[in-house]
A and B are shown apart, each in its own frame.
Chain A
């Protein structure tokens, strides 16, 4: 897996990956607003042959990478202290997530990009995941908005959104307990499979979505549908957890590299 990461304004990294991860945002240090994000794509192609970086020597350090891509997501995080105090909580920040998938992201054209049940459910799941990870006590009476835009869906959209949003939140400078790394897993023919593609998901076997806080090994969110025998649960969970930890190593490395730059 490969991850390339960049900031808007300070630098940009663009790649397309076969795994659905992406986050972007701006570094606007406003008195009232702080936004941040990452442009990040993860691909499953081997790094050496997949990556072709074209750097442009201009003040904004635009780096562009072209890859054969299958999945793409965009996340932006907005952190605001603004007017309406009606919904503000007195002791912690409110986390608001919105999930939207582009009409051209799936094989069949989607009629309603947002506001439908699946998007709302996804938004809610993301919110629950991030409420567990963000240190909301440090920002009372404010709201953190996380917007996720899926450009291409090839399975594992929840996982990709979580990974991308983690980076976006980090880029915005919002304190978190730990990275939140997610991965999906399934069970086919006695084998536990990590990171299902769309075809594998459509096959109808049991699927598990796992969001993990890697350092402590705590599970932020675990969701499973379809029937699975309890004997197999351990294996599937382990497969997902291992994949999530791999993602964590990758994200960690990229973040450190970027901070150093």
Chain B
């Protein structure tokens, strides 16, 4: 009977739950789904991470290649993100060139990388003016159940923490790069941006970490990317219903708490990986 009601009047069904300050999957309005992260599982990639936020699954693989730097920034490397939402993850996506949502997500991740200065591009320089590293970060969504931006940001962060770059020296005589695969070092991750997404219901109610259905019923979404010292890296509110300043402040404090949770999880995972 409940299933029938849900199909016929999904919004009303949701409102009944929201009135009791909870959601159909049993969560509170400010509660995130179970987050799991798995680092370094893909050995062909230089760094990899798999993040699961409830059912939403995103895998990030980082591959490092050589490139020539541009003339106006001869000592800066590149970080190139790409988000792929294949038809595999949800029936709403068709095969073919990247759709709107994938492109928006890719741009969002590029903005996060740029704004948060997660990696100093100068760290990626091998030989100024001649050779730099370019990190291709490919994020593939394996299951789409809402809140893709949070999962992508987390996966990217975890994968970058996992990247090990070999030492490269330029041979003066031949001017060729010599890669020493035995000596690898981790990247210097300067900041830890963590994204928190909210969905707006009926112009007033804010819920954290929306699932696919909730996103579909929501009247607006908001994503806040927060850094360690409570610094805001990115605020993404693509239209939708309006929000008051006070509500925004509430969201930001929730984002700060979320940052602590995620940081703790990350540290645990990294610590468990180190002995390898």
Contacts and interface: CB of A to CB of B under 8 A. Distances in A.
Interface of A: 8-9, 12, 14, 16, 24, 26, 33, 35, 56, 58-60, 62, 64, 66, 69-70, 72, 74-76, 78, 80, 98, 100, 102-107, 109, 113-114, 145, 147-149, 151-154
A164 B62 CA distance: 25
A64 B42 contact: no
A104 B143 contact: no
Contacts of B89: 76
A76 B43 contact: no
Given A98-B95, A149-B140, A152-B44, A103 B34 contact: no
Contact of B63 (A35, A62, A76, A109): A109
Interface string B26-41: 1000000010101001
B95 A114 contact: yes
Nearest to A105: B44
Contact of A147 (B45, B59, B84, B87): B87
Given A8-B143, A103-B136, A104-B63, A149 B38 contact: no
A152 B42 contact: yes
A102 B91 contact: no
Contacts of B57: 24
A26 B43 CA distance: 27
5 contacts: A8-B55, A69-B41, A76-B88, A98-B95, A152-B44
Interface of B: 25-26, 34, 36, 38, 41-45, 48, 52, 54-55, 57, 59, 61-63, 65, 82, 84, 86-89, 91, 95, 136, 138, 140, 142-143
B4 to A, nearest CB: 12
A179 to B, nearest CB: 22
A78 B42 contact: no
A102 to B, nearest CB: 6
Contacts of A66: 38
Given A69-B43, A70-B43, A109-B65, A102 B138 contact: yes
B62 A78 contact: no
Contacts of B61: 102-105, 151
Contacts of A109: 63, 65, 136
Residue among A62, A78, A107, A109 having the largest count of chain B Cβ atoms under 10 Å = A109
B86 A149 contact: yes
Nearest to B90: A26
Nearest to B25: A59
Nearest to A18: B43
A26 B38 contact: no
Contacts of A60: 34, 54-55
Contacts of B95: 98, 114, 147
B134 to A, nearest CB: 10
Given A78-B91, A102-B61, A145-B87, A72 B42 contact: yes
A69 B276 CA distance: 14
Contact of A64 (B36, B62, B84, B86): B36
A72 B41 contact: yes
Contacts of A12: 55
A18 B11 CA distance: 45
Contact of B84 (A35, A107, A113, A153): A113
Given A59-B26, A80-B91, A109-B65, 5 more contacts: A72-B42, A78-B87, A104-B63, A151-B42, A151-B61
